[in-house]
A and B are shown apart, each in its own frame.
Chain A
């Protein structure tokens, strides 16, 4: 009886491993292409629109508020300024978080089929994703409660962590970049 239970247990374990492997096996062309495009879009949005230093610094720059104070702008104008900046800051965090989630999804579903990442890199990447998403949540809460200038260091840390994820994802998605074909040399035609 014990032997029967043992073999049934082994059989169930093998069957579940087989099911698991078949689900995460080779790339499924249709689904994966969608994930790839989504990841490429997320990477472009982060690198091109959300993370450039000049924009991040501008959004969270305190000198604009200092200007209003120096101009003795009425309270209504200063309130409008803080409300608007808070709205933009929350929108920035929301978009960064959403794009990081897309990249995380890509790495969880498809990256290993295309990029040969080592186990150590995968673990590092998983930690980076977890830390970045946690930082986004914490920053969102800080700004929601304390306004756009509540956590300037966290803004920098979040942007840096997101940039690191972009750098690793760029390698994973490198095969999507157009191949740089060297122009044919004139002597290669004549030879």
Chain B
């Protein structure tokens, strides 16, 4: 692993990331998934070439981890109705059919690998539980109003 970079540099990198990239990703769920995808599954280290070229690999990694934790925290405290809306908007943005999406997310539970490494276990379990309920809500909406969820 890296030696810990200076907090001030990390803060600058974090602001840079928010301004250039994350400002275009409005929903916390989309940010969580985007930032999780920046992380190497084998090492747990975050990579972002643009940010690393402006700062350093270490600083970029810390800034991405900070933003990932922030997105996670926002999602944990988000009410169920918002989570349902975010999940449906995310599905819509990926251009996946509702039935296909609900089946895949129900079976694979991809949200389990999208949380930060140092997330509090209870908070993570709470978020997983809310995802499970949100998926059930969307499924019931799809069953009762098949045209309601746009493909």
Contacts and interface: CB of A to CB of B under 8 A. Distances in A.
Interface of A: 45, 48-50, 54-55, 58-59, 61, 63-64, 67-68, 71, 73-74, 76-77, 80-81, 84-85, 87-88, 91-92, 95
Contact of A77 (B81, B123, B129, B133): B133
B76 A84 contact: no
A126 B110 CA distance: 45
A166 to B, nearest CB: 15
Contacts of A92: 122
B81 to A, nearest CB: 5
Contacts of B133: 77, 80-81, 84
Nearest to B129: A84
Interface string B116-135: 00001111011001101100
A74 B79 contact: no
B136 A59 contact: no
A46 to B, nearest CB: 11
Interface of B: 76-77, 79-81, 120-123, 125-126, 129-130, 132-133, 136-137, 140-141
Q: Is the interface of A mostly helix, strand, loop or mixed?
A: helix
Contacts of B77: 54-55, 58
22 contacts: A49-B121, A49-B122, A50-B120, A50-B122, A54-B77, A55-B76, A58-B77, A58-B126, A59-B126, A64-B80, A67-B79, A67-B81, A68-B80, A77-B136, A80-B133, A80-B136, A81-B136, A84-B130, A88-B125, A91-B122, A91-B125, A95-B122
A74 to B, nearest CB: 5
Contacts of B76: 55, 58
A77 B137 contact: yes
Given A58-B79, A73-B140, 8 more contacts: A49-B120, A49-B123, A55-B123, A58-B76, A64-B80, A84-B130, A88-B126, A92-B122
A82 to B, nearest CB: 10
Contacts of B123: 49, 55
For B76, B77, B132, B133, the residue with the greatest tally of chain A CB atoms inside 10 Å of its CB is B133
Q: Is the interface of B mostly helix, strand, loop or mixed?
A: helix
B120 A48 contact: yes
Q: Which 7 A-B pairs have the closest CB atoms?
A: A49-B120, A64-B80, A84-B129, A67-B81, A54-B77, A77-B136, A58-B77
A68 B80 CA distance: 9
A91 B123 CA distance: 11
Nearest to A55: B123
Contacts of A61: 79
Contacts of B126: 55, 58-59, 88
A76 to B, nearest CB: 8
A77 B80 CA distance: 13
Contacts of B140: 73-74, 76-77
A123 B33 CA distance: 50
A22 B93 CA distance: 69
A87 to B, nearest CB: 7
A76 B136 CA distance: 9
A85 to B, nearest CB: 8
